[in-house]
A and B are shown apart, each in its own frame.
Chain A
Amino acid sequence: MTRLAWPLLAALVVAALMLPFGIHEQLLTAAITALQLIYLAQCWNIVAGYAGQFSLGHSVFLGIGAYTSTVLFLTFGVSPWLGAIAGAALAAVAGVALGALAFRYRVRGVFFAVLTLGSMEVVRGIVPNLDAIGGANGLFIPMADAPYNMLFNDRRPYYWIALAMVVLMAVLTAVMERSKFGQYLLAIREDEDAAEASGVNAFRSKLMAVALSAALTAFGGTFYAQFMLYIAPDTTFVFEHQLNMMLGTMVGGTGTVAGPIVGSAVFSVIAEALRHLPLGENIRIEPVSQIVYASILMIMMLVLPGGLVSLVRRNRRLSAMAVQGDTG
């Protein structure tokens, strides 16, 4: 089984690379959106899944990434390829600042969740008043075919970029999981006091996890801006992105490499299927799909807290512990 896993994975990646040549434009857009959801869920998974710090404010980091690269591009003509790095750095700084305060004052569990959610509301309240970065109206990126500026008329390059991000992120997560750092995080998640007692510097490890996750999320933000060509406070600093990260990760399996990929992919397929549902004139698809997603999430929490991957994983107790363990 394990010997077959790597060739299988390689075949899957090759098939994924070839996919844009075989599908319709509309389906390609859905695939790009799906990859974007997967990537963001993977980023959130590092903090919430591995380190056990249930952030509800990751939309802030996405927004910082989107705004930094876009403002640099529109005002100074800096290529978003470089702007993405600046955004990641800024998001990491923001993450460290918030994390340092939170962990220094031992804000844990649901209090950490609400603290981060509050940070999103604060940023969302401030940004519409900053006219220099577009205020409430937001910023438009003019359409162009400029690969140097991460802008393409063809949709396929977006697909390959997103695919590369997902694959790299999966590799990074897998490496992290096996590293000393990853083991520290798991130890902290299971029992922070016990981890500290055995010599883990919980404060530093948690802070590093937040910084890493924030920076990576910001890359996703830059991609979001370049793909949508429009950002505004009401499309970036909103709970919707956070919710998608949560849905995918928790349904797939929190604190696992495959979890966010499986979960977000499942949700994307459901979303696409629901779009073709014959609902009649008067029923809007948006609320219906939200109800379906939330119901799946709640049912999963009640019957399979380890997520879908726990069905096939041998150490299913480990992944179940990510949500059932002592995070309060």
Chain B
Amino acid sequence: MTDISVVLQVLVSGCLMGLIYALIAVGFTFIFGVLDVVNFAHGQMVMGGMFAAFALYVAFGLDPFVSLIAIAPLFFVLGLVVFRLLIGRIVESTHASHTVVTLGLFIVLENVVNLIYGGDLRGINTSYTSRSLHLGTVSMPIGQLAAAVVAIAVVFGLTLFLNYSSVGMAVRAAASNRLGAQLVGVNVRRVYAITFAIGAALTGIAGAVLAPVLAFDPFIGGSLMLRSFAIAIIGGLGNLPGAIAAALFIGIIESLASLMLKGSLSNAVTFGILMLVLLFRPNGLFVRTSR
């Protein structure tokens, strides 16, 4: 039978993978929580970050952990542009139009990258890609560890920003009560634009950090988005610590499932959980109240 070291390895791998998912899901749940927009293009924005890191690596040999310093502000600005052109025009509209417009953005991103780079699987081979840290029998790939550290730092930073900066407080005000925030002088549209731009910057960071860890192609975004959605719902909408816990949960479940089931079946498990949560615990696993 499976011995204890295998189980331990699965748990550790699951946690690391979960933190990586958390990095992707945090931006998603942040945008969802504040704007009430489900950004179907979120996973493809992460994919864009991966290819941005890939381009900088190929052109200048920049390590993704260095190039994210350039990618984050670039994606912040791109986020502002996308908000101005698309999201800002439909943010007041229905979920149906959010869905259609962000799906449109999804397809455009996927195919622009496909046009430039083709559909092949890519990866970034850094000096640490194949190295691991060993703790007893458990091994932890350096790249995943570093990505996990960035994930924790990003969530910590975002929490500080929301709780202690004046813009962050305006964001929270707009998220909890739009009209009330407007009444006390918050420029809600500006808050929305900044929120979306921060979410975009987070996708850029996530993409850069994940590029050495995951093999990627222009089509990776769809499953990343659905996982983000699952994590956002399980963690409770807009709840950042909840998102981390949910991401760990999904990471461990997937790690267990891939140990016991064939590849495509473990995908079915993830999305089966998504369906169950949507049906039975739409407010998240960690909330006692039902709707």
Contact = CB atoms under 8 A, between A and B. Distances in A.
Nearest to A283: B115
Contacts of A326: 94
A291 B267 contact: no
A323 B278 CA distance: 23
A256 to B, nearest CB: 15
A250 B114 CA distance: 25
Interface stretch (B2-10, B101-109, B140-148, B198-206): B101-109
Say whether chain B's binding surface is mostly helix, strand, loop, or mixed: helix
Nearest to A302: B89
Contact of A325 (B94, B103, B266, B280): B94
Interface centre among A298, A324, A325 (most CB of B within 10 A): A298
B86 A302 contact: yes
Interface residues of B, number: 44
B145 to A, nearest CB: 29
B265 interface: yes
A3 to B, nearest CB: 36
A118 B108 contact: no
A113 B95 contact: yes
A55 to B, nearest CB: 11
Contacts of B104: 294-295, 297-298, 301
Interface residues of A, number: 51
B264 A327 contact: no
Say whether chain A's binding surface is mostly helix, strand, loop, or mixed: helix
Contacts of A288: 111, 115
Given A102-B279, A302-B90, A290 B265 contact: no
A283 B86 CA distance: 27
Contacts of B268: 121-126
A174 to B, nearest CB: 23
B33 to A, nearest CB: 14
A109 interface: yes
Contacts of B271: 118-119, 121-122, 125
B112 interface: yes
B279 A101 contact: yes
A109 B97 contact: no
A311 to B, nearest CB: 19
B96 A118 contact: no
Interface centre among B107, B222, B262, B269 (most CB of A within 10 A): B107
Interface in B21-40: 38
A305 B97 contact: yes
A124 B106 CA distance: 20
Contacts of B291: 106
A297 B114 contact: no
Interface of B: 38, 86, 89-90, 93-101, 103-108, 110-112, 114-115, 222-223, 226, 229, 262, 264-269, 271-272, 274-275, 278-280, 282, 291
23 contacts: A54-B95, A105-B279, A105-B282, A107-B282, A109-B94, A110-B38, A110-B95, A110-B96, A111-B282, A118-B274, A121-B267, A124-B268, A126-B265, A243-B103, A246-B103, A288-B111, A288-B115, A298-B86, A298-B101, A298-B105, A301-B90, A327-B96, A328-B96
Given A114-B229, A291-B112, A328-B95, 14 more contacts: A114-B274, A118-B275, A119-B275, A125-B268, A246-B100, A246-B103, A293-B107, A294-B103, A297-B103, A298-B86, A298-B104, A323-B97, A324-B94, A328-B96
Interface of A: 52, 54, 56, 101-102, 105-107, 109-111, 113-115, 117-119, 121-126, 128-129, 136, 239, 243, 246, 250, 283-284, 286-288, 290-291, 293-295, 297-298, 301-302, 305, 323-328
